[in-house]
Chain A
Amino acid sequence: MSVAETPVARAVVRGASTGARVREIIFPAALIMCIAFAMLTLVVLLVDVAIDGIPVLSAEFITGFPSQIFPESSGIQSALVGTLLLMAVCAVFIVPVGTATAVYLEEYADRNRWWNRLIEVNIQNLAAVPSIVYGILGLAFLVRGPLELGRVVLAGALTLGLLVLPVVIIVGREAIRAVPSSIREASMALGATQWQTIWKQVLPGALPGIATGVILALSRAIGETAPLIVVGAAAFARFNPNDLTNDPFSALPIQILAWVQDPQDEFRALAAGAILVLLFLLILMNTGAIYLRNRFEQKW
């Protein structure tokens, strides 16, 4: 087909009619409406949660424990502590495992070997598995099954860790890949072993990117409800867990879920308040990630 016969050319030959000119304006306007709607939804959501939740926020709300009988005195201490513990243990798990996997795949793995390609494809698949399936995995292997940890923080944290591990690996790989090979080659030329090169040159250079990946992973994990439902986090726990392997625990998303499903208005307000705390934690983490990204963006 010659250029003159393409639809574009035919339109040109037809010339710009008034109708076409109008269409030229309507089209981008329609596109802007799409974005406006998305932004509007975000604003309405935040305003709605804020209106419902701000009246509930107070020091007692943060330090109190949830009560089914006396909603006025309810608080989120057990849920907040549970969430913080989950994040801490999760981080302890995903940082070494995720970084090690990323380092292995980028620096050591021979892409021609089938098992290395399998690992890569596998990670891509895991990233697409629904979070509830991870919950089932946690229930079968961590809570019950061989490890039989019970419904404890460790089981919840490991389940969440497995869920977000692909994020750390994928982002970590990009960060490691961004370190130019000239750095590696120079180091090797000076007689350093591969590991010495990685440990002293590549990893420090990739560290901001890896840290960003970890924060991204944790901000995904902090809001995840489904796996915790299946693993058995408690709502309305009036105590904090004493340890990671014996006591029942709570978490913010689970407590929010329990409050949302209670039809009384006081509990709806409590849910909104807890959501605000959760969003605050998220903003904290994401600001940290953006700060890291901008401050330490390596210009090789």
Chain B
Amino acid sequence: MDKQQKEHFVKSKMWLFLGLASSLALVGAACGGQQGSGGGGGGGNLSGTIQIDGSSTVQPFAQAAAELFQEENPEVRITVGGAGTGDGFERFCKGETEISDASRPIEPEEEEICKKENIETEQVPVANDGLAVVTSKETMIDCLTVDQVKELFGPDATAKTFKEVDPKLPATPATFFTPGEESGTFDFFTEELLETDAEQRTKDVQTSADDNQLVTGISGTPGGIGYFGYSFFTENEDKLNAVAIDGGEGCVRPSPETVQNGSYKPLGRQIFMYPSKKALQRPEVKEFMNFTLENAPRIAEAAKIIPLTSQQVSESQKALQGS
């Protein structure tokens, strides 16, 4: 091939490559706009984007609600984040999200900030939760009293092994995995059980906003111990051991029954979604919240979260109507 032909050949192959690249990009762009369609393909003609962020405990619930809702309303795009209750409220009060997930009630300071930005909201309980204190399966602790938990997790705690807290327990060195201060679960644990002002142990503690990381850490470390929402325990029951808590009336293990009837003390709680009133004026958001409450038990089951009782559901629906 002489020089000119070779140059032409080179150029044509370049165009071929560029053509390949751009067609791949076009495929990507063409697929854009396709929604996650489920089997139902219902006649929903709602559309829009709903951004939900906040508690990682509520996240599986919100995610399940979003997926089931999107099966019937494929044009509605819902993103669910798990930045933590506190961070979720910060975004929410800036107007960045339509609904804020929370594993503790909104604090007055947070409501103040929201009001400044003209954001009003209503507390809507969507599920129950028992905060589970969890160890790895290698350290089968059956029951701990509240005081023993304080000795392990409190801000001045220095216990290095479980034996120091209870002579019947093994002498395994303890490694702690807990949420950080951005988490509503952290707030709830420190306030209700440790009874401190957002302070807990800092020695030998790894914190993560990602509950999955906590599960991995605890299950993979012989002396692992920590806490998170009940659903993360049930999702990983084969790897974890839930500790029964003695709140003064005997050892109670977390379960749907003990949480719903209130005997799992002091770590039983409700978890919430906070929709903004402004967002509720949009049909897709209102429809989503209605759907979520109407199907709350089914959604909770899919997310392996403890569902509301039917009475709690109607109370939540009333709260939603009021907003």
Classify A-B as touching or not with yes or no (CB < 8 A). yes
Is A171 located at the chain interface by the 8 A CB criterion? Answer: no
* Contact flags B17-54 to A (C-beta < 8 A → 1, else 0): 10001101101110111111000000000000100000
B212 and A261: CB pair below 8 A? yes
Does chain A have a CB within 8 A of B13?
yes
The answer, yes or no, to whether B303 is at the interface (CB within 8 Å) is: yes
Q: Is B11 an interface residue (CB 8 A)?
A: yes
Look across to chain A and name the residue whose beta carbon is closest to the beta carbon of B66. Answer: A238
- A241-278 residues at the B interface, CB under 8 angstroms: 241-243, 247-248, 261-264
Known contacts A234-B79, A248-B79: does B22 contact A88 (CB below 8 Å)? Answer: yes
Q: Is B215 on the interface with A (CB-CB < 8 A)?
A: yes
Q: Does B263 contact A (CB under 8 A)?
A: no
B219 contacts A263, C-beta separation under 8 Å: yes
Q: Bound state CA distance, A88 and B33, in angstroms? A: 17
Known A204-B11, A207-B14, A239-B77; contact A69-B21, beta-carbon cutoff 8 A: no
Contacting residues, chain A, for B212 (C-beta < 8 A):
261-263
Stretch at the interface among A20-28, A79-87, A118-126, A158-166: A79-87
A208 contacts which chain B residues (CB < 8 A)?
A: 10
Are B32 and A243 closer than 8 Å at their CB atoms? yes
Is the CB of A197 closer than 8 A to any CB of chain B? no
The closest CB in chain B to the CB of A288 belongs to: B17
Of A69, A91, A288, A296, the most chain B CB neighbours within 10 A belong to A69
A81 to chain B, nearest CB (A): 5
Q: Which residues of A contact B239 (CB under 8 A)?
A: 263
CB distance from A144 to the nearest CB of B (A): 12
Interface flag for B148 (CB, 8 Å): no
| C-alpha gap A98/B221 in the complex (Å) | 48
Residue of A204, A239, A262 near B10 (CB, 8 A) is: A204
A68/B60 contact (C-beta < 8 A), A261-B210, A261-B216 known: yes
Query: What are the 6 A-B residue pairs with the smallest beta carbon separation, nearest first?
Result: A88-B25, A84-B28, A238-B36, A65-B36, A240-B32, A263-B215
9 new A-B contacts at CB < 8 Å, known A88-B28, A240-B31, A296-B10:
A68-B59, A68-B64, A81-B28, A85-B25, A87-B24, A88-B24, A88-B29, A247-B49, A261-B210
6 A-B pairs with C-beta separation under 8 A: A68-B59, A69-B303, A204-B11, A207-B10, A236-B63, A247-B49
